[in-house]
Structure 1
Amino acid sequence: MRIFSKLLPASRQKLVISSIGIVVLVAFASFMLFQVTQKEVVLVENGKDSTIDTHANTVEELLEEVGITVAEHDQLSHDIDVTIVDGMKIEYDTAHKVTVVVDGNEKVYYSVADTVNGFLEENKLSITERDEISHNLDEAINGDLTITIKQAFEVAIQDGGKEVKAWSTGGSVQDLLAVNNITLSELDKIEPAIDEAVTKDTTISIVRVEKKTEEVTESIAFQTETRTDSSMEKGEETVLASGTDGSVVKTYEVTYENGKEVTRELLEEEVTKESENRIVVVGTKEPAQDLVTLSSGKELTMTASAFTANCSGCSGYTATGINLKANPNQKVIAVDPSVIPLGTKVWVEGYGEAIAGDTGGHIQGFRIDVHVPTKADAYQWGVRKVKVKIIE
C-alpha cells in the first residue's frame, strides 16, 4: 500500500478512497433497504407453523419460493393471486385420498381432515355403534387411506317358537349366535347350518329338541270266556265271574320339539297286575217242545238273537235272495226251516211282522235271528225269549 501510495499523487489517493466509501455506503443502503422491504409471513403447513421473511408479492410466489405445489383438492386459506402483506397468516393443508368401501361399494374422497371421525363428519357419513369400521374414529389421517364399513342389519331368529331380533354385519350363523349369547344343545335343529353366511335376507330357525323318559300305567281289559252247559236251555246265560281289568306300566322315550310332543317310543313294559277273565255259561239244551205242523194263528215261544247284513264279509243276500243291504229296514228273520218253513209270514214279539227269509248255522230248533240295520241295533237287541205267531 505504501508503494501504491508513493506511486499515486495525493489527489488521486483521495479520489480512490472516496469511491470505495461510496460503494460501501450504497451496498449498506441496499442491504438495509432489502431488510426493510421484507414482509414477515406465518405459513401453517399441515398444522405446523413457520415464520418466513419474503419479498414475494403474491401467495403463489410465496408458495413457489418455499417449494409448495397446490394440488386440485388441497386446501389453501387464500387465493393464489392475493397480495402478500406483512403479518399475514397463510394456512395450507395437503388433501389425502380416502377410499371408502361400504358393504362392498367403493367411493373415493379427498379430504384434509386430521382424523377418521373428522373425515366422516366432513362428508356427512354416519355410522352406528352396531356398524363395523376398519379404523378407530380417533385415528390420524397421515396419507392415503382405505376405510371399510360394514353396516349392521337386523336378522330375525325364531328360537324355540319365540322371535328374537339380532343385529349383524355378516359372518356366519355361529358368529351371530355367539354374539347374542344363544347356545344350542346337541339335539337342537337349526336352519340354515351354523357355518352358513348371514345376509340381510337370512332368517334363522332354531327347533329346541328335548327327550324325556315317561312311565304310563295302562289297564289291561279282561277277556270274556264262554262256557256251555247242556243242562241249561238254549238262550239262558249265567255269569260265573264278572272279570277284572289288569294293569301294565309302560316306559316311553318321548321327543318334544319346541315343547310339543312329536314322537313316543316304547322302551319297555311291565305287567303289574294280571287281568281276570269274565266267565259266562250259556245253555245248549233244546226246549222240550214237539215239532208240529204250523197253522195260521199258531204261537210259539222261541229264543231270538239279532243279526245285520252290514258286516265284513257279509254278502247282504238271504237264503231266499232278499238283498238286505239294499233294504236295511226290511223285517226278515232267520229260521230253522224244519220248525218254520222259509217264506212263512210271522209276528215276532218286540219286532213286528216279518218274513222267514234266511237260515243260519246256529239257528236250530226253536231259535230265530231277527234282522236289524246296524251292529248297534244287534247289540241292543241281545238275546231274549219272544213269542212268535204264525200269520200265514
Structure 2
Amino acid sequence: MELGKIWVPHNRLLLSILGAATFVLLSVGIYFFNLSTQPKQVTLVIDGISQDITTTAKTVEQLLQEKQVQITDKDSIKPGLDTSVEKAMTVDLQTSWAIPVQIAGQKTVVHTIKRTVAGALADAGVKVSKKDKINPSVDSKLTKDTEISVIRVEEKAVQVNKDIAFREIRQKDTSLNKGEVRELKKGQAGKAILHYSVVFENGKEVSRKLVKTDVVTEKQDRVLAVGTKKQEVMAASLSSRGGKDIRAKRVLNNVTLTAYAPNAGGGYGRTAMGVKATVGKTVAVDPKLVPLGWWVYIEGIGYRRAEDTGGAIKGHKMDVYLGSESEAMRFGRKKGYKVHVIGPKLP
C-alpha cells in the first residue's frame, strides 16, 4: 500500500515531463517545417539581367525548373545546382552561345559564355598574332548572331635571281660605209639578287615589296660602230664577158681578199645560203654590205656569187672559195681590190 501511494505521484510527474518535451519537439518541428516551406525572396540573374523572385524551391535546380529556365552543360550556374535556396541569395546564370568561327578558311563552332571576340577565341583555343586580321576586332562585344573570321597573315623574305639586261650603244664611225655596223665590244648580261618582303594571307600571296637589290655581276653594254661614210657609186659602165654593158648597184673600194678551201673530208658542206660551195663561184661576204644571193665582180678575179659568210668576214673583207688548201695558202691576203656589187641576177 505504501509503495503504491508513492509511485502514483512520481508517475504523474514523469508523464508531465514527457508530454512537455513532446510538445516542445513538435512545436520546433512545425516551426522549421513552416520555415522551410515559406516563400523566399531571391535574385535570379540571367546573362546580366536580374529579377527578384519569390520561390518555395529547396535547391537551385528546383528554382530553375520552377521558373522553366533550361540549361545545358556548357552554361555557367553559380551557386551549383544542388545548393539549398536561402533567403536573399543571388543565383547567377550565364548561358553559352554557339558562335561560328572561320580560321584560315576552316569553319568551326565554339560554345562560350564569354561576351567578347577575344574571349570566344580563347575558349576555342585560337591564338592570334598582331598581323592576323580578325573580324570583328578582338575587343568587340558578341551577339548571338556574331560570326568571327580569322585571316592568318604571314610575312616572308623572298630572294629572286634576275638577269640585268645590257644596253646596246651605237657610235657613229666615219671610216665605215653608211649602213655598215661593226661590234666594238660584246654585251654581257649582269646578275642580281632581288630581296622582296612578301605578304601571305591564309597561305596565298597578296603583295610583295622590293626591299633591296644586290648586284652580283655588273652588266657589260654592247658597243657598235655604225658607219656614216657615203658609199662610192659606180658611174661608168662595165663590160661583161658577153660584151654587154652593165651598171653596178655600188662599188666597194679597198677590199681585202682571203681564200678558203674544202677541209680534209672533201668539202665545207653547206654554205650560209644552204647551197654547196662551188669553186669559181662562191665567195663569203659581210651580208650587211652585200646581200646573200647577189653577184659581184671582183676586178682581177671575175664574177662571184655571195653565198657564204664567216666570223672574220666583216666590212670590206671577202673570202674567195678555192679548190684546195694549198691554193688557199698561196692566195694569202690581198688588199686594195675594187668590187662591183651587181645584184641578184648575173648579167
Map of 2:138 onto structure 1:
194
Decide whether aligned partners of structure 1 residues 269 and 51 sit closer, same or farther in structure 2, where only a CA change above 3 A counts.
Answer: same
Decide whether aligned partners of structure 1 residues 67 and 131 sit closer, same or farther in structure 2, where only a CA change above 3 A counts.
Answer: closer
CA offsets, 1:326-362, max 9 Å, x none?
Answer: xxxxxxxxxxxxxxxxxxxxxxxxxxxxxxxxxxxxx
Map of 2:233 onto structure 1:
289
Conserved? CA contact 1:233–1:285, under 8 Å: yes
Aligned: 1:204 with 2:148:
yes
Map of 1:174 onto structure 2:
118
Shift of 1:220: 0.3
The secondary structure found in structure 2 opposite 1:229 is: strand
Give the TM-score, by structure 2 length.
Answer: 0.52
Map of 1:85 onto structure 2:
none
Conserved? CA contact 1:170–1:197, under 8 Å: no
Aligned: 1:259 with 2:203:
yes
CA offsets, 1:275-304, max 9 Å, x none?
Answer: 22223332222132379xxxxxxx9969xx
Aligned residue among 78, 81, 100 for 1:134: 78
Aligned: 1:116 with 2:43:
no
Q: 1:68, 1:233 → 2: CA distance?
A: 130
Task: Point out the more displaced range, 243-252 or 108-117.
Answer: 108-117
Shift of 1:124: 3.7
Q: How does 1:12-91 map to 2 (within 5 A)?
A: 51=26
Shift of 1:189: 3.7
The secondary structure found in structure 2 opposite 1:176 is: helix
Conserved? CA contact 1:170–1:199, under 8 Å: no
Larger Cα-atom Rg? 1
Q: 1:239, 1:281 → 2: CA distance?
A: 6
Aligned residue among 8, 32, 37 for 1:93: 37
Decide whether aligned partners of structure 1 residues 67 and 236 sit closer, same or farther in structure 2, where only a CA change above 3 A counts.
Answer: closer
Conserved? CA contact 2:233–2:249, under 8 Å: no
Aligned: 1:226 with 2:170:
yes
* Matching residue's letter, 2:58: D
Conserved? CA contact 2:110–2:123, under 8 Å: no
CA offsets, 1:44-94, max 9 Å, x none?
Answer: xxxxxx658xxxxxxxxxx9xx67998xxx9xxxxxxxxxxxxxxxxx832
* Matching residue's letter, 2:38: T
Shift of 1:161: 3.6
Conserved? CA contact 2:42–2:86, under 8 Å: no
Shift of 1:96: 2.7
Q: 2:32, 2:83 → 1: CA distance?
A: 26
Q: 2:218, 2:60 → 1: CA distance?
A: 84
Decide whether aligned partners of structure 1 residues 249 and 67 sit closer, same or farther in structure 2, where only a CA change above 3 A counts.
Answer: closer
Map of 1:305 onto structure 2:
none
Map of 1:271 onto structure 2:
215
Give the TM-score, by structure 1 length.
Answer: 0.47
Gaps of 5+ in 2: 1-11, 17-21, 236-246, 251-340
Shift of 1:249: 1.2
Q: 1:126, 1:233 → 2: CA distance?
A: 103
The secondary structure found in structure 1 opposite 2:80 is: coil
Conserved? CA contact 1:224–1:280, under 8 Å: yes
Map of 1:249 onto structure 2:
193
Aligned residue among 127, 149, 160 for 2:104: 160
* Matching residue's letter, 1:140: S
Map of 1:215 onto structure 2:
159
* Matching residue's letter, 1:277: D
Q: 2:208, 2:133 → 1: CA distance?
A: 19
Q: Which has the higher contact order (CA 8 A, sep 6+)?
A: 2
Map of 2:256 onto structure 1:
none
The secondary structure found in structure 2 opposite 1:130 is: coil
Decide whether aligned partners of structure 1 residues 277 and 110 sit closer, same or farther in structure 2, where only a CA change above 3 A counts.
Answer: same
Q: How many percent identity over aligned positions?
A: 30
CA offsets, 1:101-132, max 9 Å, x none?
Answer: 33355556544332111233344422012222
Shift of 1:197: 2.5
Gaps of 5+ in 1: 1-30, 36-41, 44-49, 53-62, 75-91, 292-298, 303-384, 388-392
